[in-house]
Structure formats: structure tokens, C-alpha cells
């Protein structure tokens, strides 16, 4: 019979006692990995086996596995058909919009994810992109490689600037903490619900409305999840409130911004940006964002989450999610199986 999943918090530590490989709980003993986990395959296999699972790498092949593991590879009706014994989809990622939840629900399959593995990594890149834009780091390298030396009249400092954080979840709060270290004049924040941790020491931020944040901030950093409510959330009207000296940072999801409007305004030099995520990934060759002058934008290929430490942590938490489900105490649940 299928388990009824229950949610609980991710444990603070990542040390887990190994389980003997032959142990089997609740009918879950075999795991099919459907996508490369971005760490060495032998490391991923070892982590899963240490939790008591037999592991099969089934990138395209069918399996009789009790659970499947994916990162961003879509889980569709067709994929589920190849794994008819599946009781659980374990997403080794925070986002899960690539999983057909209706198909899983219809089949009685639970879905879990990894909500907090890359908090530091993403927050650090947000600050890094702001510095890269302010200090013209990519432009300076281009100048040197072209045989020149003097690049510009000078960059800008983070100190004494107004920083705005849009979305005050774990990553947004951590980003605010990091920016606080640079002694900004003010830290502004927007969230659907006010977060006491944002206004308390050491962050000492101030909640404001979204329009006010875009009007006042020198740096706007986006940290909202992509869903039906946030698709195109930052539209042209908000973008037009940014001043020419402002910098927009997006390490959330490309779809939360009207990318066509953003590209148009960047080409008009209405503001600058540091972007790690895009509406379509990889970016199509004819995407307008690639026509933006290089001095107006710094681009990175969706690497905010991608540090050695975060990817290892992600695999550990995924294995723990599988173990918890098998033991009848599921956590990090996106969809509960009936």
C-alpha cells in the first residue's frame, strides 16, 4: 500500500547514520536515478546506497524502481509509464514545476523536493553580481584582453547604497544579511507577509511596498519562487521605476520578469542588471537579452545554486528524503500520496 506523506523540516545537520544495503522499509528498496546529479556518479550512488537503497541509473531506460530521482528533467505521464512501480518522485531541486503533479496524484505517487540546499550559494552570487556590475569586472577583463588598460572613469561602492530585497524567504533573508556587511544606507524588503527576522538585528531592514522599493533602491535583488502568481511578476511598469544608476539582480527564476521588456529597457540604458536566470534556458541565439550592450548587463548561465558544497548537500538531503519516506515519516513534501 502507498504511504501517506507528512511534512516536516529539513534537519540542520547533514550527518546521517548509514543503513545496511539490504534493509527495506515500506516496500521502498530500489531507486532509479533519471538524471545526472551534477556530482560524480559514484558519489551519488554511494550516498543513496548508504541509506539502504539499491540504485539504478535509468536515464532513458524503464525500471521496476519504487522511487525515481530527478533534478530538472521533466516527470511526465510518459516518464511515469516507464516506472510503473514508482511510489515517490524525489526532486533533487527546489523548483518542481517540471513535475506533472496531476499525473502523480492520479497514480498515487508522492513528490518531495529539496527546499534549502543552496541558500548561501544563491545569496553569495546575488552579491557577486552586484559587485561585478558596480565594479565593471567583466568589462575590465575585456579591456585587458583587447590590449588596452584604462577601462572607465571608475566603478561604484556598495557602501551607503539603498538595497532592496524582493522576497524574504531563506535566500532573501540570507542575501540581506550579506548586503548588510557592506554598510548600506538602508535595506528595504518586500514580501507578501512581513518577516520579523528581516527587521530584527543584525539585518535591521524595513518593509516597504513593491513600487516604493523599485523607486528608491540602488540595487534590487529578486528572490521569489516562480509560480502562477509570480509569472511576469516584474513587468514593464515596475522596471520603468528603476533609475539609470540602479542595478537589477535576478537569481530567482527568469519567468518572474517580463524579459522582453527588460531587454528593451536595458538597451535604452534605463538601468543595469546582473542576471543568472532567463525565460528560456539555454538562451536562444535570437533572444533580445543577447542584444543588450555588454556594459549594461552581466550574464551567468544559471549557476547561482551550483557550488560543490551545495550540490553535495542537495544529494545528501535527497537521500534523506527517500529514507524518511521509506520509514513512514516523509518530509519536504510537495504532494502527498493518498
Which residues belong to the active site? Answer: 253, 281, 302
Q: Quick one: the chain helix, strand, coil %, rounded to 5?
A: 35, 15, 50
Q: How does DSSP assign 249-279, residue by residue?
A: EE-S-GGGB-HHHHHHHHHTTS-EEEES--S
Q: Name the E strands within the chain.
A: 30-33, 54-57, 67-70, 88-91, 110-112, 162-166, 186-190, 206-207, 219-222, 247-250, 272-275, 297-299, 333-335
Please check whether residue 136 is in contact with residue 151, taking contact to mean a CB–CB distance below 8 angstroms: yes
* Residues 128, 151, 125: CA angle, nearest 5 degrees: 5
Collapse the DSSP code of 198 into the 3-class scheme (helix H, G, I; strand E, B; otherwise coil) and give the result: helix
SS3 of 17-71: CCCCCCCCECCECEEEECCCCCCCHHHHHHHHHHCCCEEEECCCCCCCCCEEEEC
**b/e per residue, 44-57, with b = 16+ CB within 10 A?**
bbebbbbbbbebbb
Enter the C-alpha cell of residue 141: 577583463
DSSP assignment letter at 234: B
As a whole number of angstroms, the distance between CA 312 and CA 306 comes to 10
Strand pairing partners for 298? 274
Is residue 96 left, alpha or beta, with left meaning phi > 0 and alpha meaning psi from -120 to 50?
A: alpha
Question: Which residue shows C-alpha cell 524579459?
Answer: 259
Amino acid at each position: 500500500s502507498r504511504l501517506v506523506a507528512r511534512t516536516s523540516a529539513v534537519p540542520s545537520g547533514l550527518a546521517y547514520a548509514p543503513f545496511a544495503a539490504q534493509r527495506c522499509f515500506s516496500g521502498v528498496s530500489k531507486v532509479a536515478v533519471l538524471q545526472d546529479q551534477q556530482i560524480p556518479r559514484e558519489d551519488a550512488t554511494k550516498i543513496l546506497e548508504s541509506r539502504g537503497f539499491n540504485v539504478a541509473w535509468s536515464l532513458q531506460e524503464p525500471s521496476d524502481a519504487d522511487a525515481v530521482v530527478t533534478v530538472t528533467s521533466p516527470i511526465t505521464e510518459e516518464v511515469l509509464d516507464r516506472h510503473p512501480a514508482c511510489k515517490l518522485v524525489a526532486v533533487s531541486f527546489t523548483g518542481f514545476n517540471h513535475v506533472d503533479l496531476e499525473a502523480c496524484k492520479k497514480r498515487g505517487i508522492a513528490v518531495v523536493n529539496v527546499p534549502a540546499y543552496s541558500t548561501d550559494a544563491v545569496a553569495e552570487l546575488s552579491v557577486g553580481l552586484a559587485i561585478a556590475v558596480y565594479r565593471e569586472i567583466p568589462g575590465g577583463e575585456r579591456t585587458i584582453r583587447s590590449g588596452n588598460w584604462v577601462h572607465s572613469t571608475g566603478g561604484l561602492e556598495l557602501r551607503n547604497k539603498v538595497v532592496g530585497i524582493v522576497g524574504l524567504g531563506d535566500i532573501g533573508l540570507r542575501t540581506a544579511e550579506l548586503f548588510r556587511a557592506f554598510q548600506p544606507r538602508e535595506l528595504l524588503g518586500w514580501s507578501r507577509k512581513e518577516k520579523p527576522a528581516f527587521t530584527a538585528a543584525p539585518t535591521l531592514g524595513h518593509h516597504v511596498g513593491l513600487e516604493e522599493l523599485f523607486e528608491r533602491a540602488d540595487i534590487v535583488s529578486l528572490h521569489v519562487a516562480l509560480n502562477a502568481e509570480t509569472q511576469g511578476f516584474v513587468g514593464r511598469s515596475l522596471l520603468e521605476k528603476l533609475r539609470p544608476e540602479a542595478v537589477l539582480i535576478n537569481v530567482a527564476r527568469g519567468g518572474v520578469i517580463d524579459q522582453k521588456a527588460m531587454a528593451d529597457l536595458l538597451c535604452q540604458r534605463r538601468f543595469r542588471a546582473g542576471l543568472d536566470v532567463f525565460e528560456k534556458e539555454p538562451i536562444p541565439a535570437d533572444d533580445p537579452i543577447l542584444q543588450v550592450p555588454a556594459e549594461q548587463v552581466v550574464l551567468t548561465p544559471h549557476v547561482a545554486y551550483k557550488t560543490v558544497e551545495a550540490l553535495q548537500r542537495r544529494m545528501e538531503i535527497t537521500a534523506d528524503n527517500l529514507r524518511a519516506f521509506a520509514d513512514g515519516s516523509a518530509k519536504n513534501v510537495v504532494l502527498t500520496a493518498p
